[in-house]
């Protein structure tokens, strides 16, 4: 369990998250994921990174039960910082990152795939930000990289999800495949990328990041300020208590 790194093919690093039952990550594992991604990208032998997850879903966000059982704001601050580091590690990875998504991709999962360079998804994959239902805010920065502005706002305000097929129509998902084929499809795309010159790939990644119209790190950090405000007001705790007492993910 936890975060692991493998080398399935020459030039490809496979970073896998495995945190049963729903891949809702506790604070430390967000930092572990950030460290694994940075190490994989920094390795001179890596030309592409595949980010995947074990189990029935890709990522269900932060571990809300950890947050609710930890006194004070320690877990909240840790989760905010850990998510910030993990999302940034995907974006700043020195080589391209391909996300292999199956099942649900919610909350923090959107932060990860929204910062990836390419997404391959299973036919049953769904994407969304249930933040308002969980007493939180954040990752609109990353959802905005997947869908047009008005759709992003509607999804954010309603907490609805969209399918992989819908995201493909918007150009955000590269390929949609049967669930059992998602990792193979992601590795195939990564192999095509990894066949390029490694030095040029690193230059290209830096160049593409440099021309992005939105600074994703600063934009997400701005959002996090409102998450703190929601917590200080007490409204966040009420929503998290209602959700965790109902036995939901996290």
Per-residue pLDDT of the chain (250 residues; tens, 9 = 90+): 899 999 999 999 999 999 999 999 999 999 999 999 999 999 999 999 999 999 999 999 998 888 778 877 888 899 999 999 999 999 999 999 999 999 999 999 999 999 999 999 999 999 999 999 988 899 999 999 999 999 999 999 999 999 999 999 999 999 999 999 999 999 999 999 999 999 999 999 999 999 999 999 999 999 999 988 888 888 887 887 887 776 444 3
**Residues in CB range of 127: below 8 A, 6 or more apart:** 101, 105, 106, 109, 110, 113, 146, 161, 162, 163, 164, 167
> Whose structure tokens read 């992601």?
186
- 90-121 per-residue burial string, b: 16 or more CB within 10 A, e: under 16: bbbbbbbbbbbbbbbbbbbbbbbbbbbbbbbb
**Residues in CB range of 68: below 8 A, 6 or more apart:** 237, 240, 241, 244
pLDDT digits (tens, 9 = 90+) for 86-109: 999 999 999 999 999 999 999 999
Measured from the Cβ of residue 70, the count of other Cβ atoms closer than 10 Å reads 16
- Residue 93 DSSP label: -
> Domain limits of the chain?
2-179+196-245
The widest CA-to-CA distance across the chain, in whole angstroms, is 52
**Residues in CB range of 119: below 8 A, 6 or more apart:** 98, 99, 101, 113, 167, 172, 173, 174
86, β-bridge pairs: none
Top CATH class of 2-179+196-245 equals: alpha beta
> Whose structure tokens read 């850990």?
82
What does the alpha-carbon distance between residue 82 and residue 222 come to, in Å, rounded to a whole number?
15
pLDDT at 250: 39
């Amino acid at each position: 369990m936890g975060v692991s790194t493998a080398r399935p093919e020459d030039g490809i690093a496979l970073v896998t998250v495995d945190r049963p039952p729903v891949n809702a990550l506790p604070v430390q594992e967000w930092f572990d994921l950030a460290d694994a991604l940075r190490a994989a990208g920094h390795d001179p032998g890596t030309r592409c990174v595949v980010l995947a997850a074990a189990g029935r879903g890709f990522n269900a966000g932060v571990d809300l039960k950890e947050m609710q059982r930890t006194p004070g704001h320690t877990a909240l601050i840790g989760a905010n910082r850990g998510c910030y580091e993990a999302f940034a590690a995907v974006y700043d990875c020195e080589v391209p990152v391909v996300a292999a998504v199956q099942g649900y991709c919610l909350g923090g999962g959107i932060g990860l795939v929204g910062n990836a360079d390419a997404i391959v998804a299973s036919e049953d994959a769904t994407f969304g930000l249930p933040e308002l239902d969980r007493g939180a805010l954040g990752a609109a920065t990353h959802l905005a990289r997947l869908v047009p502005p008005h759709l992003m706002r509607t999804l954010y305000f309603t907490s609805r999800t969209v399918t992989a097929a819908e995201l493909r129509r918007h150009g955000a998902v590269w390929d949609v495949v049967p669930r059992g084929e998602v990792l193979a499809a992601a590795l195939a795309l990564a192999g095509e990328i990894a066949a390029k010159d490694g030095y040029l790939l690193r230059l290209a990644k830096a160049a593409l990041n440099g021309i992005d119209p939105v600074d994703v790190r600063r934009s997400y950090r701005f959002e996090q300020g409102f998450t703190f405000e929601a917590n200080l007001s007490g409204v966040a705790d009420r929503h998290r208590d209602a959700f965790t007492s109902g036995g939901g993910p996290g």
